[in-house]
Amino acid sequence: MIQANVPLLTTERLTLRAQRPCDFEAYAAFYGSERSRGMGGPHDRATAWRQFASELGHWVLRGYGFWMIDLTETGETVGLAGLWNPEGWSEVEIGWAMFDGSEGKGYAREAATAVRAYAYDTLGWGPLSSVIVPDNTRSQALATRLGARPERDWVAPAGWPAVIWRHPGKEALA
């Protein structure tokens, strides 16, 4: 029995849902671009697919993972956000990535806030981290707006350097 039981999360403007096969083209376009550098990319199509499939496998193996982010009103998919902790990772992190043309509208903040609330309220987890590469100023700005602070340097298993940011815990956000 495969259980990729991905709960649906909704915010004011967004619906966070499970990945579907038809998401792959948008996903491959994202992972083929420089925009994916903060997520360990860019990747060729074959590697992007393995990444895509592994994100669903992550749900089955870990019980949590990445959601695709849709605009509730139009159904347009604008990015992904979720809880990521593959083998070799530092700890569970809140990750996010916006597809081309969907930045600057507050979607990432809205999605990351919903993911963090799910982790804290539904899963009952403590202060979470985000792994951000040093030159990703947009994600750094968002992490800062979310109340996170840089905590320590870290090197991903694939060898790229990153900084682990620490989010406030549930009590600090209340």
Partner 1 sequence: MTTPVLTTDRLILRAPDKRDEPAMLGFFTGERARFYGGAYDLAGAWRYFAAQVGHWALRGYGMFAITAKDRGETLGLAGPWHPPSFAEPEMAWLLTEARHEGQGFATEAVGAALAHVFAVHRWASLPSYIDRDNGASRTLARRLGAVPDPDHAAPIGNCETFRHFAPEARA
Q: Which residues bind partner 1 (CB under 8 A)?
A: 1-4, 18-19, 21, 24, 45-46, 49-61, 86-89, 157-158
Using the minimum distance from each CB to partner 1, give the nearer residue, 46 or 172.
46
Shortest reach from residue 62's CB to partner 1, in Å: 9
In sequence order, which residues have a C-beta less than 8 Å from that of residue 168 and are 6 or more positions away? 127, 147, 148
- Please tell me the distance from the alpha carbon of residue 31 to that of residue 129, in angstroms, as a whole number: 23
Task: DSSP letter for 118, please.
Answer: I
| Burial of residue 43 (number of CB atoms within 10 Å: 0-12, 13-18, 19+) | buried
Shortest reach from residue 158's CB to partner 1, in Å: 7
Shortest reach from residue 54's CB to partner 1, in Å: 4
Q: How many CA atoms lie within 13 A of 173 on its CB side?
A: 18
DSSP 16-59: EE---GGGHHHHHHHHTSGGGGGGT----HHHHHHHHHHHHHHH
Calculate the CA 29 to chain-centre distance. 17
Using the minimum distance from each CB to partner 1, give the nearer residue, 44 or 76.
44
Using the minimum distance from each CB to partner 1, give the nearer residue, 75 or 88.
88
Shortest reach from residue 79's CB to partner 1, in Å: 19
Using the minimum distance from each CB to partner 1, give the nearer residue, 56 or 128.
56
Could you tell me which of 75, 56, 72, 73 has the C-alpha nearest to residue 64?
56
Using the minimum distance from each CB to partner 1, give the nearer residue, 131 or 143.
131
- Is 155 within 8 Å of 162 (Cβ atoms)? yes
Shortest reach from residue 43's CB to partner 1, in Å: 11
